[in-house]
Amino acid sequence: MQLLCSSHHSCLLCVRIKQNISLEVAIQTTGLFCHIVLMLADDMACNPRNPKPATVFSHKNMELNVYGDDVEVDYRSYEVTVENFLRVLTGRIPPSTPRSKRLLSDDRSNILIYMTGHGGNGFLKFQDSEEITNIELADAFEQMWQKRRYNELLFIIDTCQGASMYERFYSPNIMALASSQVGEDSLSHQPDPAIGVHLMDRYTFYVLEFLEEINPASQTNMNDLFQVCPRSLCVSTPGHRTDLFQRDPKNVLITDFFGSVRKVEITTETISLQPDLEIVESRYKKDWMDEELMEPLKYAEQLPVAQIIHQKPKLKDWHPPGGFILGLWALIIMVFFKTYGIKHMKFIF
């Protein structure tokens, strides 16, 4: 008998804020199965300014509603915090946390982390109230490596001065991409005059166009991803870092991160799946003898149900009032007589 030894090469995606819904939809439509952890700080679908409630569009033609029935938001609104994000990465989360909110990774997992939002030199804002620094992010990745939570990691960030976020990385097997260099702004795309905002960032827009051409059998490599948004399109200068990555980017397929791949290895080793009948029969005989020697169960002596139903309730024993109650009544009577006197008793009785 030949066995197929399968080594699962999983892909996990952790995204945050706004247009990453579009990225999730793009990955799903390409047929690339991933375990996705989606974090959305803003509730755009239910925002009062949204002229079409419960819908989110990434293009001004409004043909595709990316906020459809199959979008699963794992962390939303005030759940999207720096603490929760770092806990998801490092695995330090309560045992009661459901699987959908966990990064189910191991030392065979390829992880894609795609972050967007407002940022600056060395930080990315969360909820406009706190921020994560490049040092905190680098330390979180090092903890992941020490705890064997990833095999290879692809980090993509679309924010102003995004390249500053991967400058402090020092853990192995990390490849990083950014939409802008230090000192540059990451600009928006697809303006919608109806609500007065842009629907997407330029870098993410062209990444999505690139992913639409990807399928599970694609041989497109990471060098192609580096060229998706030149300065003529993004206006900013995208950057990437590959010195921590062991493989050559031209040999790394896009589907290694934007998809789940099962690497199957064929072995010629032969094993027997037939059980040993003598061992099974001896175990069955032993269990049968143990049941025979076991004493029969005995029920505890109980009061018959009929007697319980027809029992009369027991009268409560009378106890004279305690000293505190008697003293309280005496005080009330003394105050009454001192205030009104005996002459007012006839009006009461």
The H or E element spanning position 14 is: strand 11-16
How far is residue 315's CA from residue 297's CA, in Å, rounded to a whole number?
Answer: 38
Query: For 115-151, b where at least 16 C-beta lie within 10 A, e where not — what string?
Result: bbbebeebbbbbeeeebbebebbbbbbbbbbeeebbb
DSSP 154-209: EEEEESTTGGGGGTT--SSSEEEEESS-TT-PPPEEEEETTTTEEEEEHHHHHHHH
Instruction: Specify whether 344 is catalytic.
Output: no
β-pair partners for 6:
264
- Measured CA distances, 323 to 67, 328, 329, 335, 336 (Å): 73, 9, 10, 18, 20
How far is residue 24's CA from residue 19's CA, in Å, rounded to a whole number?
Answer: 9
Identify the active-site residue in 160, 189, 234, 240. Answer: 160
Catalytic residues: 118, 160
